[in-house]
């Protein structure tokens, strides 16, 4: 039991932290170069081999490890030491509740591809996210630096503001799925719905003339059930994690570097890791909530098992499903990473007052309205 959990944990942590994380630091540079029509990231070489800049992540690690770790005078040493750890730990432990595959039957054994299948998984993500604020607060306050403190005050005010709207923007999704458990949400998205089903339901339009409408289906993904919720949630989760274009707390033109100003060597590396780790973690959360999690569009688990289960046996069908589903999930995460990187190099940074106005004056009223509109629609269509 515990071994199985440990294997699943190592798999997801190694894929996200060991594979995606170094690649993202490379993609960030390389995509910037491509989008700005530069050659970019090709200086790190090993015996003349640059491998398109793929050696840069390794060079980063070597450099961060060999630099001096400094604590500024007048700093609160203890809090200054632990702040980077407080920033990184929440980003890692969020991965525990993300289902990267469904539930598979191999003979008598049941394999469920999630580290911790908690009944209130979404609340766990929100609670862990609310603790991430303290990393920024502690770092800025303990550094005894004006820029650091300004950055941390800005960061915390922004993070707490978007935390509220982040929660409210997905209430509509809870209403559609009727659950807070992430594995159940993913299963609910492993199907399709008829786009024009409501015509028949409300106007009684049925019969041969309208039969062709039944062929027009969409996957029952959050993005199609809650398109407004998707935009709101994506905005909020990126702002909550201070990702560009919402990175006013570390706007170098105003604050030099923000709350991690007085950090050097690998303890700066911890902030750096936390920040880049948030990119795939955001991708995984958005993929699970809105992009069907591990599901494959128009090809449900039952379809796959029905097609190959008879000829090759149940075990083979389960294995095939598992591989396809994990691949589908990781592909969606990669898609979200690409999207975040494209945004990062397309949009200029918002001003701080714009960030706060967007939260309190736009997203908060719209997400409350979204909840009640969704509610009325759900009850109406349920009849």
| Residue 117 touching other proteins (CB under 8 A) | yes
Could you say which of 34, 46, 123, 216 contacts other proteins (CB under 8 A)? 123
Nearest to 274 by CA among 168, 180, 356, 155: 155
Which pair of tokens denotes residue 68? 């001096």
Closer Cβ to other proteins, 55 or 261, answer by number? 261
CB 257, CB 138: distance < 8 Å: no
Min. distance of Cβ 212 from other proteins in angstroms? 30
Min. distance of Cβ 140 from other proteins in angstroms? 9
Min. distance of Cβ 276 from other proteins in angstroms? 13
Which pair of tokens denotes residue 306? 């029905």
Min. distance of Cβ 161 from other proteins in angstroms? 6
**What is the phi/psi pair of residue 195, to 5°?**
-60, -40
Closer Cβ to other proteins, 16 or 282, answer by number? 16
Min. distance of Cβ 174 from other proteins in angstroms? 3
Identify residues 201-230 at the interface with other proteins (CB under 8 A): none
Three-state SS at 58:
helix
Identify residues 267-296 at the interface with other proteins (CB under 8 A): 267, 269-270, 273
Nearest to 28 by CA among 232, 260, 230, 243: 243
Closer Cβ to other proteins, 54 or 79, answer by number? 79
Count interface residues toward other proteins (CB under 8 A): 103
CB neighbours of residue 1 within 10 Å = 5
CB neighbours of residue 166 within 10 Å = 28
> Which residues does 327 contact at the CB level (< 8 Å), separation at least 6?
none
Cis ω on the peptide bond leading into residue 245 (within 30° of 0)? yes
Closer Cβ to other proteins, 20 or 31, answer by number? 20
| Residue 15 touching other proteins (CB under 8 A) | no
Which pair of tokens denotes residue 25? 């630091």
Closer Cβ to other proteins, 31 or 152, answer by number? 152
Q: Which stretch binds other proteins (CB under 8 A): 125-133, 280-288, 303-311, 321-329?
A: 125-133
Could you say which of 103, 126, 155, 287 contacts other proteins (CB under 8 A)? 126
Could you say which of 21, 35, 195, 368 contacts other proteins (CB under 8 A)? 368
CB 200, CB 338: distance < 8 Å: no
Identify residues 136-195 at the interface with other proteins (CB under 8 A): 137-138, 141, 143-149, 153, 156-157, 160-161, 163-164, 167-168, 171-175, 177-180
Min. distance of Cβ 186 from other proteins in angstroms? 15
| Residue 322 touching other proteins (CB under 8 A) | no
Could you say which of 119, 214, 252, 303 contacts other proteins (CB under 8 A)? 119
| Residue 18 touching other proteins (CB under 8 A) | no
CB 151, CB 259: distance < 8 Å: yes
Which pair of tokens denotes residue 231? 């935009």
Distance CA 118, CA 343 (A): 33
Residue found by looking up tokens 């690998």 in the block: 266
Distance CA 166, CA 126 (A): 8
**What is the phi/psi pair of residue 42, to 5°?**
-145, 15
| Residue 5 touching other proteins (CB under 8 A) | yes
Closer Cβ to other proteins, 35 or 378, answer by number? 378
Identify residues 347-366 at the interface with other proteins (CB under 8 A): 352-353, 356-357, 360-361, 364-365
Residue found by looking up tokens 């294995």 in the block: 319
Distance CA 371, CA 172 (A): 5
Strands 217-219 and 192-194: antiparallel
Min. distance of Cβ 21 from other proteins in angstroms? 11
Three-state SS at 205:
coil
Could you say which of 42, 81, 191, 217 contacts other proteins (CB under 8 A)? 81
Nearest to 87 by CA among 20, 135, 158: 135
Could you say which of 109, 131, 373, 381 contacts other proteins (CB under 8 A)? 131
Identify residues 97-116 at the interface with other proteins (CB under 8 A): 114-116
Q: Which residues pair with 105 in a beta bridge?
A: 110
Identify residues 40-79 at the interface with other proteins (CB under 8 A): 64-76, 78-79
Closer Cβ to other proteins, 41 or 186, answer by number? 186
């Amino acid at each position: 039991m515990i071994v199985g959990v440990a294997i699943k944990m190592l798999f997801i942590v190694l894929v996200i932290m060991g594979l995606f994380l170094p690649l993202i630091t490379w993609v960030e540079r390389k995509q910037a170069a491509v989008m700005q029509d530069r050659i970019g990231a090709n200086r790190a070489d090993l015996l003349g081999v640059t491998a398109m800049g793929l050696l840069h992540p390794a060079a980063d690690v070597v450099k961060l490890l060999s630099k001096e770790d400094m604590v500024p005078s007048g700093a609160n040493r203890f809090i200054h030491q632990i702040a980077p750890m407080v920033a990184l730990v929440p980003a890692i432990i969020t991965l525990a509740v993300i289902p990267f595959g469904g539930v598979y039957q191999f003979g008598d054994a049941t394999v469920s591809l999630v580290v911790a299948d908690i009944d209130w998984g979404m609340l766990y993500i929100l609670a862990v996210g609310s603790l991430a604020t303290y990393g920024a607060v502690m770092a800025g306050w303990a550094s005894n630096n004006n820029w650091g403190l300004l950055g941390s005050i800005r960061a915390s005010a922004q993070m707490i503001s978007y935390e509220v709207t982040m929660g409210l923007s997905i209430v509509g999704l809870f209403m559609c799925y009727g659950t807070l458990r992430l594995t159940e949400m993913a299963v609910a998205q492993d199907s399709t719905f008829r786009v024009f089903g409501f015509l028949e339901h409300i106007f009684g339009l049925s019969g041969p003339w309208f039969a062709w409408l039944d062929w027009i289906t969409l996957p029952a993904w959050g993005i199609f059930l809650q398109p407004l919720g998707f935009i709101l949630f994506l905005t909020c989760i990126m702002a909550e994690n201070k990702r560009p274009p919402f990175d006013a707390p570390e706007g170098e033109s105003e604050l030099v570097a923000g709350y991690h100003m007085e950090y050097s060597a690998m303890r700066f590396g911890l902030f750096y890791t936390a920040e880049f780790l948030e990119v795939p973690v955001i991708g995984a959360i958005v993929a699970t909530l809105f992009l069907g999690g591990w599901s494959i569009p128009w090809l449900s688990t039952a379809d796959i098992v029905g097609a190959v289960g008879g000829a090759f046996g149940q075990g083979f069908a389960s294995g095939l499903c598992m591989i396809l589903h994990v691949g589908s999930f990781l592909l969606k995460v990669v898609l979200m990473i690409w999207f975040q990187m494209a945004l990062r190099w397309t949009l200029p940074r918002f001003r701080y007052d714009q960030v706060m106005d967007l939260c309190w004056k736009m997203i908060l009223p719209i997400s409350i309205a979204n909840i009640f509109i969704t509610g009325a629609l759900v009850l109406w269509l349920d009849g």
